[in-house]
Amino acid sequence: MNKYLDINPEVKEAIENGRPVVALESTIISHGMPYPQNVETALNVEKIIRENGAVPATIAIIGGRLKAGLTPEEIEYFGKKGPEITKASRRDLAMLCAKGEDGACTVTTTMMIANMAGIKVFATGGIGGVHRGAETTMDISADLEELAQTQVMVICAGCKSILDIGLTLEYLETHGVPVIGMGTEDMPAFYTSKSGFKVDYKVDSPAELAHFFKTHIELGLKGGILVGNPIPDEYSMDPEVINPAIDKAIEECNSLGIKGKATTPFLLAKVKEITGGDSLESNIRLVYNNAKVAALTASELCK
């Protein structure tokens, strides 16, 4: 085991006994929403995973230690400290461990630490991807590279709709990452259930999804798979409301010269402001939905 890795005793016992475990990221706690709503949401996500037969493992870096599974007290700590915590991607791991600092795990680092711990299923909100205008800025999320090399299933509500979804799917295709639609042939667009872009394959149940991933593992295929799980219809936002809000947020982001890892938190906060908080409620609900599907899939995978 990696000498920098601490596995929560409950999570470790579940892994050793072949019980289902679902990884969760910590950036959504520190950078995704304000305190105390962030802590409340994180604890609710863990509760949903337990209710659906799996053990939650929220992943973070605390004091230079890679944590696979946080205690409620550690989640509270993360929620209160919030954006002061470094948003950690692959390039940041060694430095944070060397300096004994905290790090909020993105999709990339959650996949890495989950894989170290032996956790194969990960639920998140939405993945990063190719940003609009990337043909000149080269702003492409490290999430996509991680999906190409780390054998973890990522269940999300699609690409964040602040991104160029078409180019994101092209990038994943180039790197051989299967994109699966849970009950849909249309790639979900985070706040809405349809983007107008097709997934590679459609599955209709957690059992079918688990069978697909088990075959992927048994074949020894490099990399993970991405699952697009649409936001429930009752929480989906009207495209005529959310799309102009996203366009306005991107315009302001560009005018302010915001780049790199600061881009996504700025855009999500601005979209929330423009929509009067409606986008945050949708964000929370889609995470809950992804957690449920991930727990059911992890349970099927263990069978």
pLDDT digits over 125-138, tens only? 999 889 777 777 78
Mean of all residue pLDDT scores within the chain: 92
The boundaries of the domain holding residue 286 are 5-302
Rounded CA-CA distance 173/158 in Å is: 15
Residues 6+ apart with CB under 8 A from 195: 158, 159, 161, 165, 186, 187, 188, 189
Instruction: Pull the structure tokens for residue 107.
Output: 């999709």
Per-residue three-class SS string for 193-231: CCCCCECCEEECCHHHHHHHHHHHHHCCCCCCEEEECCC
> Comparing C-alpha atoms, which of 208, 198, 272, 263 is closest to residue 228?
198
pTM: 0.92
- From residue 23, give the alpha-carbon distance in Å to each of 11, 76, 152, 264: 10, 18, 10, 21
Q: How many domains does the chain have?
A: 1
Torsion region of 277: left, alpha or beta (phi above 0 gives left; psi -120 to 50 gives alpha): left
Answer yes or no: are the C-beta atoms of 128 and 143 closer than 8 Å.
Answer: yes
Rounded CA-CA distance 146/107 in Å is: 8
pLDDT surpasses 90 at 21: yes
Q: What is the pLDDT of residues 36-76, one digit of tens each?
A: 999 999 999 999 999 999 999 999 999 999 999 999 999 99
Q: Which residues are catalytic?
A: 25, 160
**Residue 10 banded pLDDT, cuts 50, 70, 90:** very high
pLDDT on residue 241: 79
Rounded CA-CA distance 295/76 in Å is: 23
The CATH number assigned to the domain holding 197 equals 3.40.1790.10
Cβ-based neighbour number of residue 14 at 10 Å: 22
Rounded CA-CA distance 265/76 in Å is: 20
